[in-house]
Chains A and B, each alone.
Chain A
């Protein structure tokens, strides 16, 4: 199929809105990295910057939604163009949620720096955040390159995130049983772990959108759920 529309302004509109999604994706990736860095280094200043930077992500979401509404109203997109606009709107929603979780991580970091550090907990959280950020980077690449295979790969990798979360969950439980003074910080750390796991779910949702964009069909939901809540 030819890539260009006869009405070139249509192409410019579609490219414009996708560029904004990429920009938003970049900001969200940075938010995850910075938030997890601030947690590891107990860097309250960096955490504060992450919290403030979230406003820009929210603003981009509004701009993208407005542009999508305009595209639908003025260009009446069909087929691949329609799927593009639909997936942009959903992906934007997912990115905004991931951004919120990163902001929440930063908020909890600001609280945690004033508590006694829990040794051994932050490494796992940082690895998990790093993995989610890599998945996000890959899924955005898959989106821009229309690569359904890469998107499926990202879908599969979410299982690892779920396993990491389960491991952290058990670890925090042990810490809390060892010493009741760990309960407060571990509750925060657990929320961070849970939120990071949720970020992974949003990345997964973006991967599904990429597959829908490319193939016109949502992937079959046969992905095994690895999250378990049995505390042992």
Chain B
């Protein structure tokens, strides 16, 4: 809440990590995102909130070009990561997704061992020089995913054998294993119990020391707890974007106010 004042924050000024300019997204004839302009800061957590179908997940998926996989989806406008257009022809989406990691709503571990789930990214991107290196990365990632203590004795058991909450934390561990610069989270806690949710939120807070985290959430309280900036989407429009503390105490737009206070709007 008051962590804008955290030590260190005054030293490194917030820079713009992701900059979206006049972004339009169409699914066939449906205009899903309407002229969205937003600057997402580095080293902070940005929450996207809004009712179902408002476009927040669609917009999130634009940031690592996940919408490329949908044939009828067209993206217009510019999305800049560190000033470079991610939709440029020269950009390899696979490399982009190593820099911009993603965690989905439903846990989707690979049908492999817990160890291999986490080791997969570092292996294909050549981040580990030796087996020992890889062991260190796997342990570190699993610890950051707040699941190490639960799986350290069965690293070679299949990831799919874990509980839903554990699988989700495994997926987060997998996403952070490649040391992404940006982590996109699409309702990462909707399948987790309150304890695991708190652990993931703690993890998000820790991640923002180094990365930009963008989280889509239906839990307003979660957005309020974890983010420094909040963007409210409605019917494909970015209605309001500002400091989380301002959005939740004194929103400027009536639609934002109606939504966050739980009124019909």
Contact = CB atoms under 8 A, between A and B. Distances in A.
B251 to A, nearest CB: 5
A19 interface: no
A76 B263 contact: no
A150 B265 CA distance: 29
B219 to A, nearest CB: 10
A73 interface: no
B54 interface: no
Interface residues of A, number: 18
Interface string A59-93: 00000000000000000111111110000000000
Interface in B209-246: 220-221, 224
B92 interface: no
Nearest to B221: A76
Nearest to A84: B261
A80 B257 contact: yes
Interface residues of B, number: 17
Contacts of A83: 249-250
Contacts of A10: 262
A4 interface: yes
Contact of A4 (B224, B250, B256, B263): B263
A7 interface: yes
A79 B264 contact: no
A2 B250 contact: no
A79 B250 CA distance: 5
A79 B249 contact: yes
B249 A1 contact: no
A79 B260 contact: yes
B257 A79 contact: yes
Given A1-B257, A216-B249, A78 B264 contact: no
Contacts of A2: 258, 263-265
From DSSP, what is the main secondary structure of chain B's interface residues?
A: helix
A217 B249 CA distance: 10
B242 to A, nearest CB: 12
B254 A5 contact: no
Nearest to A75: B262
A6 interface: yes
A79 B262 contact: no
A216 B248 CA distance: 11
A3 B263 CA distance: 7
A6 B261 CA distance: 9
B249 A82 contact: yes
Contacts of A7: 262
Contact of B264 (A4, A80, A81, A217): A4
B76 to A, nearest CB: 32
Contacts of A82: 248-249
Nearest to B263: A2
Given A83-B249, A216-B249, A216-B250, A5 B263 contact: yes
Residue from A1, A3, A76, A77 whose CB has the most chain B CB atoms within 10 Å: A1
Interface string B59-91: 000000000000000000000000000000000
Contacts of A79: 248-251, 256-257, 260-261
Contacts of A6: 262-264
A1 B261 CA distance: 10
Interface in A132-178: none
B261 A80 contact: yes
Contacts of B265: 1-2
Contacts of B251: 79
Residue from B224, B250, B260, B265 whose CB has the most chain A CB atoms within 10 Å: B250
A59 to B, nearest CB: 30
Nearest to B254: A1
B218 to A, nearest CB: 14
A217 B251 CA distance: 12
Residue from B224, B261, B262 whose CB has the most chain A CB atoms within 10 Å: B261
15 contacts: A1-B258, A1-B265, A2-B265, A3-B263, A5-B262, A76-B220, A78-B224, A78-B249, A79-B250, A79-B256, A79-B260, A80-B257, A82-B249, A83-B250, A217-B250
10 interchain residue pairs of minimum CB distance: A216-B250, A1-B254, A2-B263, A78-B260, A78-B248, A2-B264, A81-B261, A5-B262, A1-B258, A79-B257
Given A76-B221, A77-B261, A81-B261, 16 more contacts: A1-B263, A1-B265, A2-B263, A2-B264, A5-B264, A10-B262, A76-B220, A78-B224, A78-B248, A78-B249, A79-B248, A79-B257, A79-B260, A82-B249, A83-B249, A216-B249
